[in-house]
Amino acid sequence: MITITEHAAEQIRKAAEQSGAESLFLRLAAKVEDGGKFEYGMGFDERKDDDTLWQSGNVGVLVSPACKDLLEGATLDYVELNPGDFRFIFINPNDPAHGGQSRRPS
């Protein structure tokens, strides 16, 4: 499914502790905008009946059925883009912007 790097998992655990969301799961989402651009989202949430739940980097991750194929094989990382500028990034083989061939369903 999706891989969460240890650095990203560490930041997610810290964010959950700081916001009092330790009992919630990390929800990852993706959608394709007009023109094929992928938009990503993430936040803490409760599990819904049709969600896929799994563990990665000691983080419980939720994905809805609508996002599952778009996120299949993706990696979530936490990197320093510029000195002092840390951000979460999605590395997704289904996203044409990442230079790979899109495997998303037609």
- Does any domain span residue 104? no
The pTM of this model reads 0.85
Residue 106 pLDDT greater than 60, yes or no: no
- Does any domain span residue 71? yes
Buried b (16+ CB within 10 A) or exposed e, 31-59: eeeeeeebebebebbeeeeebeeeebbeb
- Does any domain span residue 88? yes
Domain count, the chain: 1
- The reported pLDDT for the residue numbered 102 is 43
Range of the domain at 57: 3-97
- Does any domain span residue 73? yes
Q: For the chain, what's the residue count?
A: 106
- The reported pLDDT for the residue numbered 101 is 47
Q: At 25, which CATH number? A: 2.60.300.12
- Does any domain span residue 102? no
Q: What is the pLDDT of residues 35-82, one digit of tens each?
A: 889 999 999 999 999 999 999 888 999 999 999 999 999 999 999 989
Residue 31 pLDDT greater than 50, yes or no: yes
